[in-house]
Amino acid sequence: MRLRRRVVMLVDNAVEGDSRVQKAARSAADAGWHVTLIGCAHVDAERRWRLGDAEVRVLPLAAARATPPATAPVGASGSRGGSDPLDVSGLRGVSGLRGVSGLRGVSGLRARLVARGGLPLRAARLARRPVEHAEVRFWRARLRDGAWRRLEPGLWDYERVAGPVVDDLRPDLIHAHDFRMLGVAARAVDRARAAGRDVKLVWDAHEWLPGARPRRDNARWLPAHLGYVREYVGHADAVVTVSDTLADLLVRDHALPERPTVILNAPIAATTETSAPDLRKRCGLPPDTPLLVYSGAMAVQRGVDTVVEALPLLPGVHLALVVADPAAAYVRQVVARAARHGVGDRVHVLPYVPHRQLVAFLATADIGLIPLHHWPNHEIALITKFFEYAHARLPIVVSDVRTMAETVRATGQGEVFRARDAADLARAVRAVLADPARYRAAYEGEDSPLPGWTWEAQAERLDALYRRLLTPIH
């Protein structure tokens, strides 16, 4: 029997809404690893529970306010949050500025106008942009990749909160999910090795950071995080990611010594659930009513507006939106748009079900929709809902974002339409509804892609990687 080696997983959220992280932790524990999953989030107090044999701990980021870092990196800022007060010393001569007085003048004017109610929020943000670009140029010239310490010092909060906990757990391997936890893991590995312990680091790149939509509306966010990743990516003993396309980009961007292991965001094939709710019944629809389903996050770039605009071209066809919060502002906007188009009675909004029930829940629909707009990270991903629809044996109608469109064309499991083109989306839907069996046949037989599109298959790859990293070489 293999000795239970300790794995610590790190993620920058509250865990509960992150199915990839949950599945990775649970399956690693099922494979015999001693797993602790640490999340960092804006919660009131530490939360603990178990995912199978894996322990979950969600740490409150507010604790960073009172907890100094054990070891601050060179040049680390002592300021808090994501808006470090601008240090203007040495800014004279920075390209695009006429000295420090000009910089202060722009910032001061903005503050005065906002205080008087004379500058709307969007205009205030635009007024701030010259200052932000100057900050980026100055700190990158001074600190290179380490400029994140001044441009995005809130990244240090994750170290303050999670670093001491990781040290106390004394892991054999640290699995850092996404980009914010990479530095936390790298510094923990350095401390462990300085103390004589050999700890391995796996970085799980969930998205292509250069193509990400900035999480905050300022010019500092993206260059700061890009520098942060470049500073620490060399510490990783192995990299895993979510698609072959992204694996190739990571090799190119970071000159990785080996290609990342691809761990798809596939669903769990075997489920302990004996029953699941029925999507069609929840919508109050009979079996012969055509039903489209969109499941997942709602935002403008996800393209649901295009589906609503297509519904008047699809008489009798209904749409189910399965979302985290049916009362969210953007969801209400979409429903209002449907009413304006005269199709409000054909749009049904339902809350999420547990991820282990989702495939069975979706299965009574006729088509799964992925109407994404063109955006760099949309082009390279095989997103979670793609696999969930496939396991529900749903034909997929997807916009012409590169990787998913190529996959659908290769397998024959659906139709592709031009992104943001409601008429072409309606054409694709009509084609599928005219002969659904043709598209569902892609999931059957020896050539079915489904056996490889399961989390169980991905978990075997992850377990093999852990074993390779932690097996002594004699």
User: What does the block give as tokens for 219?
Assistant: 């010019």
Q: How many CA atoms lie within 13 A of 129 on its CB side?
A: 8
What order do you get walking across the sheet with 347-351 strand by strand? 347-351, 318-323, 291-295, 367-370, 396-399, 414-417
pLDDT over 60 at 102, yes or no: no
- The pLDDT assigned to 111 comes to 55
**Do 15 and 58 touch, CB atoms closer than 8 A?**
yes
Q: What is the four-CA torsion angle of 404, 407, 412, 415, rounded to 10 degrees?
A: 20
Closest CA to 183 of 10, 328, 356: 10
In this predicted structure, what is the pLDDT of residue 414?
A: 98
CB environment 384-404: b (16+ within 10 A), e (fewer): bbbbbbbbbbbbbbbbbbebb
**Which is more confident, 73 or 196?**
196
Give per-residue pLDDT as tens, 205-254: 999 999 887 777 789 999 999 999 999 999 999 999 999 999 999 999 99
Higher pLDDT, 65 or 220: 220
> Does residue 69 contact residue 156 with C-beta atoms inside 8 Å?
yes
- The residues with which 174 forms a beta bridge, in sequence order, are 8, 201
Residue 112 pLDDT > 70: no
Residues with Cβ within 8 Å of 447's Cβ and at least 6 positions away in sequence, in order, are none
Q: Label residue 91 by pLDDT band (50, 70, 90).
A: very low
- Tell how far CA 426 is from the center of its chain: 29
- Distance (Å, rounded) from C-alpha 404 to C-alpha 398? 7
Contact 55, 37 (CB under 8 A): yes
Residue 355 has pLDDT above 90, yes or no: no
Pairwise CA distance, residues 364 & 279, whole Å: 6
Q: What is the pLDDT of residue 396?
A: 98
Assess whether pLDDT exceeds 70 at residue 427.
yes
Q: Let me know if the fold of 6-72+153-262 is the same as that of 279-452.
A: yes
Confidence of residue 127 (pLDDT cuts 50, 70, 90): low
Cα torsion 319, 320, 321, 326: sign: positive
CB contact burial 102-141 (16+ within 10 A = b; e otherwise): bbeebbeebeeeeeeeebeeeeeeebbebbbbbbbbbbbe
Q: Indicate left, alpha or beta for 212 from its phi (over 0: left) and psi (-120 to 50: alpha).
A: beta
Q: Are 247 and 258 in contact (CB under 8 A)?
A: no
Locate tokens 């034909």: which residue? 395
Residue 92 has pLDDT above 80, yes or no: no
Sign of the dihedral defined by the CA atoms of residues 14, 18, 24, 26, in that order: positive
Which residue type sits at 124?
A
pLDDT at 423: 98
Instruction: Sketch the domain layout of the chain as residue ranges.
Output: 6-72+153-262, 100-150, 279-452
How many residues appear in the chain? 474
Could you tell me where the DSSP H helices lie in 341-381? Answer: 358-362, 376-380
Mean pLDDT of 142-159: 96
Burial (0-12, 13-18, 19+ Cβ within 10 Å), 76: middle
Tokens of 384: 């979670």
Phi/psi of residue 17, nearest 5 degrees: -95, 10
Query: Between helices 121-143 and 100-115, what is the axis angle to 10°?
Result: 150
pLDDT above 90: percentage of residues in the chain: 77
**Mean pLDDT throughout 370-378?**
94
Contact 175, 7 (CB under 8 A): yes
Right CATH for 279-452 from 3.40.50.1240, 3.40.50.1370, 3.40.50.2000, 3.40.190.10: 3.40.50.2000
Q: Quickly count helices (H) and strands (E) in the chain.
A: 18, 14
Question: Half-sphere exposure of 99 toward its Cβ, with a 13 Å CA cutoff?
Answer: 3
pLDDT at 316 over 90: yes
Write down the mean pLDDT value for the chain. Answer: 88
Superfamily per CATH, domain 6-72+153-262: Glycogen Phosphorylase B; (3.40.50.2000)
d(CA 74, CA 53) in angstroms, rounded, equals 39
| pTM score over 0.95 | no
* Rg of the chain (C-alpha set): 24
